[in-house]
Chain A
């Protein structure tokens, strides 16, 4: 068969203009460096903002420190001017900026703000006193940027920072070694945060306030809630109660996700349900001290296969059109 654009054009399925356009792409007359440039810019931002923060600990003399803080401050101001110039006025709906690197400048400015903030704290030795509040202030700053300039990446960072500030690391990024870790039952906090995030997602969708942020809130909400539930089963003394409430919780959410045709969250719910249910089941078998535990060898592969076959049979359910 011919190249696809020739084939489509010969059968009059696309017009000549589109055919010419596709031919230019296929014959390399026009090449897009969209992804490459963005990646380059992003790596640059990561290295630069990562490196700048460390200067606070380097011996570059008093003048050097002041100068560097001043440079950072000026860079932030310039960035903010750029953002204000190109940004749309604030709306409750999704605002789209037609600029090819606006989002990256936003990311750079918000990360630089955090760098400068940390730098100032370290330089004036305020760090020890401010330890607990710094992450919260950073989170608030990220939230403000995310809502003002409508950016999901910054919102994701904001949520990660906030959750880390509350003592949970939901990601490989270790934001802060908060001292709450050892004293609080973390999974309880996690379960609460999960519910709060899910509620925020629901509310923003219902009242149409940045409703496109719903996915981000839900994604983190479900992940934190379910991971905390599973952790609670492993760590808590009330494991069986947590397992039962996990079964209840995942059943309800799973039902709604099935109903709303959210495949990703339905899968999250199913996996967590499976873990809670299996735990409760084998705890029960253990209670009666039966030899039924032999079932385990067939239960795991058997149940997984049955579940997958069920999903494949119902695959048309999750199609959106």
Chain B
């Protein structure tokens, strides 16, 4: 890791102190005292400045590398690759030695821009653009994203490396063909579960706060992958589009009964495990996967009454949520309906924007009845 671990621990402690202050659990003097005792030299700007610095970094690197590329384009393919390698190496050196070591940038946006662009340069310098083997590209990308994660604890790189790993494995099984292709979902499900258990093991032994978000990201991705590899819709549609499976009427995908079971029971299992072990992660994914399974069911077996289904589902959800809210008036079985700690994104202004962009789906005429998109979707129109 390129950062000093001790300093990073202190930095995290300061963040926690700020969160406790915003939750109203400690007062300003207490927060200042904690900040005084745990000093760090790190420079971490607000999210807006982070985004701007990232943009500046990308623009800066591309502005400088453009003329350099032109200058060395006479040297043929090898000359260009050597040049790209030197530029990439220089960018990484600038990032590690000057920005991080001397200027103490930490998650400043600029560090991310430089580490990504530098490694992209080196990546293409090493492989060139027209290599035959796709595995060379995949494996080197996997290696690079893993290195970026380990070196900078970059969560985006962590997610990318997990997905690349799965994609590489998918390619291997796909190229082996035959039975191996049919086994892909089952292998993926088993693998996701094993990885989840492994991460959980490591997490319980680990006390450092530095990696806590890495664990959350890792666990979330594996839970989603476990569900997705067993979801009937995903398996069926991917079998058709990627593996060229052609289904006649009345035919079904291999092992289809298994996928009926997994589509139904994985969400329920998540939800039950979440409630039993009081794991908010499992509860969240239980709800999400249950909704996805419901949509899957509706996709293949429609009752021809979409309006009624939507309205009844809405009424059911309102009733369910109000029921639980009333049930949890006081703490029961360790669950509470109250907010325990402050979350930065949970502000009135932010939710007002989200709600105003999603709510208000009153139909104006019959023709936009099935155009969809009236609920859900939306999002904050780039105001932040």
Interface residues on B, range: 35 or more
Most central of A50, A100, A309 by chain B CB within 10 Å: A50
Contacting pair B337 A100 (CB below 8 A): yes
**Provided the pairs A35-B346, A41-B322, A57-B363 are in contact, do residues A50 and B352 lie with their beta carbons within 8 angstroms?**
no
A301 CB contacts on chain B under 8 angstroms:
59-60, 62-63
Distance A185 CA – B307 CA, assembled complex (angstroms): 38
Contacting pair A118 B363 (CB below 8 A): yes
Most central of A14, A42, A108, A308 by chain B CB within 10 Å: A308
* Interface residue from B279, B284, B378 paired with A173 (Cβ < 8 Å): B378
B295 contacts partner chain A, Cβ-Cβ < 8 Å: no
Contacting pair A107 B359 (CB below 8 A): yes
In the complex, which residues 160-189 of chain B have their Cβ closer than 8 Å to any Cβ of chain A?
none
Contacting pair B315 A48 (CB below 8 A): yes
A263 CB contacts on chain B under 8 angstroms:
48
Distance A304 CA – B52 CA, assembled complex (angstroms): 9
B76 contacts partner chain A, Cβ-Cβ < 8 Å: no
* Interface residue from A7, A43, A111 paired with B317 (Cβ < 8 Å): A43
Contacting pair A46 B376 (CB below 8 A): yes
In the complex, which residues 212-226 of chain A have their Cβ closer than 8 Å to any Cβ of chain B?
215-216, 219, 223
Interface residues of B: mostly helix, strand, loop or mixed? helix
Contacting pair A107 B355 (CB below 8 A): yes
Contacting pair B363 A53 (CB below 8 A): yes
Contacting pair B48 A46 (CB below 8 A): no
Residue of A with least CB distance to B329:
A100
B73 CB contacts on chain A under 8 angstroms:
none
B220 contacts partner chain A, Cβ-Cβ < 8 Å: no
Interface residues of A: mostly helix, strand, loop or mixed? helix
Contacting pair B334 A47 (CB below 8 A): no
Distance A111 CA – B311 CA, assembled complex (angstroms): 14
B312 CB contacts on chain A under 8 angstroms:
51
Interface residues on A, range: 35 or more
Contacting pair A114 B362 (CB below 8 A): yes
Q: A45: shortest Cβ distance to chain B, in Å? A: 6
- In the complex, how many residue pairs between chain A and chain B have their CB atoms under 8 Å apart? 252
Contacting pair A33 B318 (CB below 8 A): no
Contacting pair B55 A31 (CB below 8 A): no
Q: B275: shortest Cβ distance to chain A, in Å? A: 9
B40 contacts partner chain A, Cβ-Cβ < 8 Å: no
Contacting pair B378 A172 (CB below 8 A): yes
B139 contacts partner chain A, Cβ-Cβ < 8 Å: no
Interface string of A149-164 (1 = CB under 8 A from B): 0001101110111000
B252 contacts partner chain A, Cβ-Cβ < 8 Å: no
* Stretch from B26-34, B129-137, B225-233 contacting the other chain: B26-34
Interface string of B315-345 (1 = CB under 8 A from A): 1111111101100100100111111110100
B279 CB contacts on chain A under 8 angstroms:
28, 31
* Stretch from B9-17, B145-153, B242-250 contacting the other chain: B9-17
Residue of B with least CB distance to A5:
B16
A267 contacts partner chain B, Cβ-Cβ < 8 Å: yes
A34 contacts partner chain B, Cβ-Cβ < 8 Å: yes
**Provided the pairs A54-B307, A157-B359 are in contact, do residues A33 and B324 lie with their beta carbons within 8 angstroms?**
yes
Q: B382: shortest Cβ distance to chain A, in Å? A: 10
Contacting pair B287 A267 (CB below 8 A): no
Contacting pair A13 B30 (CB below 8 A): yes
A29 contacts partner chain B, Cβ-Cβ < 8 Å: yes
Distance A40 CA – B313 CA, assembled complex (angstroms): 11
A8 contacts partner chain B, Cβ-Cβ < 8 Å: yes
A1 CB contacts on chain B under 8 angstroms:
6, 9, 13, 207-209
Distance A118 CA – B360 CA, assembled complex (angstroms): 12
In the complex, which residues 1-57 of chain B have their Cβ closer than 8 Å to any Cβ of chain A?
6, 9, 12-13, 16-17, 20, 25-26, 30, 33-34, 37, 45, 48-49, 52-53, 55-56
Distance A7 CA – B343 CA, assembled complex (angstroms): 22
Contacting pair B56 A47 (CB below 8 A): no
Extra contacts besides A118-B362, A305-B63, A309-B56 (13): CB < 8 Å: A1-B9, A1-B13, A4-B209, A28-B334, A44-B315, A45-B314, A50-B375, A52-B311, A58-B307, A118-B363, A156-B353, A172-B373, A298-B63
Q: List 24 A-B contacts (CB under 8 A).
A: A8-B13, A11-B37, A30-B335, A30-B340, A33-B337, A34-B338, A36-B283, A37-B321, A40-B317, A42-B355, A44-B314, A44-B316, A47-B375, A48-B317, A51-B307, A51-B308, A51-B314, A53-B361, A57-B369, A153-B359, A171-B381, A172-B378, A305-B63, A309-B56
Closest 9 A/B residue pairs (Cβ): A48-B314, A44-B317, A47-B314, A51-B311, A156-B356, A41-B321, A44-B318, A51-B310, A152-B352
A-binding residues in B (CB < 8 A): 6, 9, 12-13, 16-17, 20, 25-26, 30, 33-34, 37, 45, 48-49, 52-53, 55-56, 59-60, 62-63, 207-209, 277-280, 283-284, 287, 307-308, 310-322, 324-325, 328, 331, 334-341, 343, 346, 348-349, 351-353, 355-364, 366, 368-369, 373-379, 381, 383-384
